[in-house]
Amino acid sequence: MEGGGQMIRITGCLSALLQMPVNMIKIRAGRASPGLKAQHLSGLHLIKEMSHGSLQGADFGSKEICFNPGKVHGGDYHADTKTAGAVCLLAQISIPVALFAPEPTVLNLRGGTNTDMAPQIDAFTEIFLPNLKHFGTDIEFEVVRKGFFPKGGGEANFFVKPMKSLKPILLDNPGKLVSVEGWCFCAGALPIKVAESIAQSFKEELRQVNSPALRGVKVNIETYKESPNAAFGNGSGIVVVARTSTGCVLGGGALGTPKESTEETGRKAAHDLLEAVECGGCVDKYVQDQMILFMGLADGESLLRTGPVTLHTESAIFITEQLTGAKFTISNDANNNSWLITCKGVGYHNKYL
């Protein structure tokens, strides 16, 4: 299926939780640069420490590893990719493990907070974590410093309270859009006009498209430049959050890059948001696959209405079913132009509480 780092993250954290030794082979074999990269290694070593396990073969570029987890412990943990490797991907592999520790966990994660091919830290904290609360989680965060490609240097802390079990979710009704707010930033040597141009282009594109879903909804975008101590290096981006009458949180965004104009960045973010609010689902395509692992572990039957099911989601379902025994079904609701993902969770319980 997807065959990338997602396989490592889901397999690794489920292995740690279930105390199930795993052997991963042909790691990222289909990628142009196969094998483990810095962020994958940092994530694996992090859950090895959290589970007091052992890890063999975990070297840069390795295509095969063996992970033998032990007992999960809470406490303070630190992981640093020492590159622009994504902080949010470190959070993805470690937060599920921390939720089932015997005591609270503090995760100090360093690397790239706003980089390509991964969620921006603002999207992770303002879109994904609110969706995760449907399962009953209690997670606080602190963004210490943003970091960008190619040097990284970003830092974020996550404070995870352990829980006995995850509640099943019922996210079936997308409701109507009631608010759209966002943050458009620049940092380092980039002037504030970079962020202003991105935000202006974003708003103009929304006006030109004139989507029925956005009619009558005020769009509020805050534009600012990060203070020198709140960012490392040069970067820019925009993250937008859409909230609905039924409590759904969806979003979109785009990362600035020297390879494209600020106007193009704004337009990309606008179409990203439009895809989310018009998909007919209760979550956007970036959150969709992230809900699967938690649905599989939840205590009861979950239902999630989504837009088109992504390959990442299909891959997450495949791995979660294989390792946990949870059963998923996907059906198309043609009347509402959406898909329904149901799951009979295994009711995984925190054995330490």
Which residues are annotated as catalytic? 312
Contact in structure between 193 and 184 (CB atoms under 8 Å): no
**How are beta strands 139-147 and 231-232 bridged, if at all?**
parallel
Count the neighbouring beta carbons within 10 Å of the beta carbon of residue 246.
13
Beta-carbon contacts of 280 under 8 Å, excluding residues fewer than 6 positions away, are 174, 305, 307, 336, 337, 338
Rounded to a whole number of angstroms, the CA Rg of the chain reads: 20
**How are beta strands 22-24 and 65-68 bridged, if at all?**
antiparallel
Q: Which pair of tokens denotes residue 89?
A: 């991907």
Helix (H, G, I), strand (E, B), or coil: what is residue 28?
coil
Q: Which pair of tokens denotes residue 21?
A: 């030794």
Q: Which pair of tokens denotes residue 230?
A: 């709140």
Question: Would you call 350 exposed, middle or buried from its count of C-beta atoms within 10 A (0-12, 13-18, 19+)?
Answer: middle
Beta-carbon contacts of 229 under 8 Å, excluding residues fewer than 6 positions away, are 145
Q: Which pair of tokens denotes residue 186?
A: 């620049």
